Chains A and B, each alone.
Chain A
């Protein structure tokens, strides 16, 4: 019998990521990162069986890896703009309105550190729900202002007008410390839950701007025994999750 006290931090992260895809229906789950990938597979094996998954390249695959469809980049981009997709992206920087940066650090004209470039973050954020995964919650990531807006936040979308806000939504940000969302009047980031063992002070210290929070921050929910079994024995028996968020 598994008791909640034996659940690892990485397993709480998997649960928090899986929850992003609850009640999403028949959409493509696009997880980027190890723990979001485990989370998406867990969601599909349990409460969101209609999710679509890819092999990371051009094939739509079932849980056993068998091909069920074709999704080359050109069609993937149509799926993005059609909105039937929920992606969980990484972020080198995130601010309190959910603006995200994966492009470069420093002055764009001559960056201190060139990263990936904006990739598909602009098209993703304006067209389908975009959540974020941050495996190391720190003030280097959670900054007052991002250096290059790749993924559009709530304030930037509002400033750009109705075409930008029409399909814009950031359901959640999952980190190694907890879950954040934007369910506040002014769409600033809120501490929605903390993984068991994490204190409010710890989360606040790791965030470079003030977080909205209730007096009592709830704990990230416990996995069910069946979910723990699926994570440990079926989806990630090699424990890759612990490589992304150490015990």
Chain B
């Protein structure tokens, strides 16, 4: 069977400018940050990013790589407002498709099921309809005759997700309290790149419900220990709150210069060095 393991650089080399890219996790929780950092090191730009936004969105926005964002929010959770997303919006740096959290989920479901849309009640009466003039409604053919928003499929060229464990074939396991929507991101995408804390040889002793991502929806597997840092990756580690705070309060060029000037190993060493300075 196909060994799909690759480096972050190899995964990113398969992406290109102008793509529609889904990013898993939620806010500042289990984001595929090592893959995002590899993306930041690349020449790729002009992206349509589809995400429950966190620092992934903030960093890509700060680096000027987003042409359009599809999202219901961007937040750092413990810091409610994502500063770089915020600054980019306020300078009109990218187009935004702002939808509700549930609409977003149904858009992924529609894409995973190869449907053009799914009906949702959410959105009606809100300014989501005003700021997305392309959104259409659909009327039930049954007796109720109700009208709903026809949430279009959020089909992705590629998805990036991060889980706790994976095998070389692309099966992924989450061990924390919430799967978020990472399986849906993979199923909604033509290609998915799955990073993990640790590669394993199989899941013989696994609790079956933890086996979230199936290999048929995965193109590449990347082992990146601490690869969700500084977002949380329970139970392997929690959010690095001091580093996140530094990210949120440091001008972007300065933060990038200190932490993002080299490869992933350089990043992890820079983080360690910073923490040692704080003691």
Contact = CB atoms under 8 A, between A and B. Distances in A.
Interface of A: 57-59, 70, 72-74, 77, 80-81, 103-104, 108-123, 125-127, 148-152, 156-157, 159-164, 166-168
B125 A117 contact: no
Contact of B26 (A73, A108, A150, A166): A73
A114 B86 contact: yes
A126 B122 contact: yes
B147 A163 contact: yes
Contacts of B72: 117-120
A149 B85 CA distance: 20
30 contacts: A57-B178, A70-B177, A72-B177, A73-B101, A74-B181, A104-B89, A109-B92, A110-B89, A111-B90, A114-B85, A116-B75, A117-B53, A117-B72, A117-B74, A117-B98, A118-B72, A118-B99, A118-B127, A119-B100, A122-B100, A122-B122, A122-B126, A123-B123, A159-B125, A161-B147, A162-B146, A163-B146, A164-B124, A164-B125, A166-B121
Interface string B254-270: 00000000000000000
A113 B89 CA distance: 9
Interface string B126-168: 1110110000000000000011100000000000000000000
Please name the 4 residue pairs, one residue from A and one from B, whose CB atoms are nearest each other, closest first.
A117-B73, A123-B122, A160-B125, A58-B177
B90 A110 contact: yes
Interface of B: 26, 53, 71-75, 80-81, 85-86, 89-92, 98-103, 105, 120-128, 130-131, 146-148, 177-181
Interface centre among B90, B92, B98, B122 (most CB of A within 10 A): B122
Contact of A120 (B80, B86, B100, B180): B100
Contacts of B122: 81, 122-123, 126-127
Nearest to A101: B127
B106 to A, nearest CB: 9
Given A108-B131, A148-B127, A152-B126, A119 B73 contact: yes
B277 to A, nearest CB: 31
A59 B86 CA distance: 30
A217 B103 CA distance: 41
Contact of A58 (B105, B178, B181): B178
Nearest to B123: A122
A77 B74 contact: no
A161 B140 CA distance: 14
Nearest to B29: A57
B180 A73 contact: yes
A152 B130 CA distance: 13
A55 B90 CA distance: 34
A80 B121 CA distance: 11
B124 A163 contact: yes
A150 B126 contact: yes
A156 B124 CA distance: 9
A74 B102 CA distance: 9
A167 B148 CA distance: 13
A111 B146 contact: no
A72 B179 contact: yes
Contacts of A115: 81
A122 B130 CA distance: 13
A58 B232 CA distance: 14
A120 B120 CA distance: 13
Contacts of A108: 98, 127, 130-131
Contacts of A161: 124, 147
A126 B178 contact: no
Contact of B71 (A117, A120, A163): A117
Given A117-B72, A157-B124, 13 more contacts: A59-B177, A72-B180, A77-B105, A108-B98, A114-B85, A114-B86, A114-B89, A116-B75, A122-B100, A122-B102, A122-B128, A162-B146, A167-B121
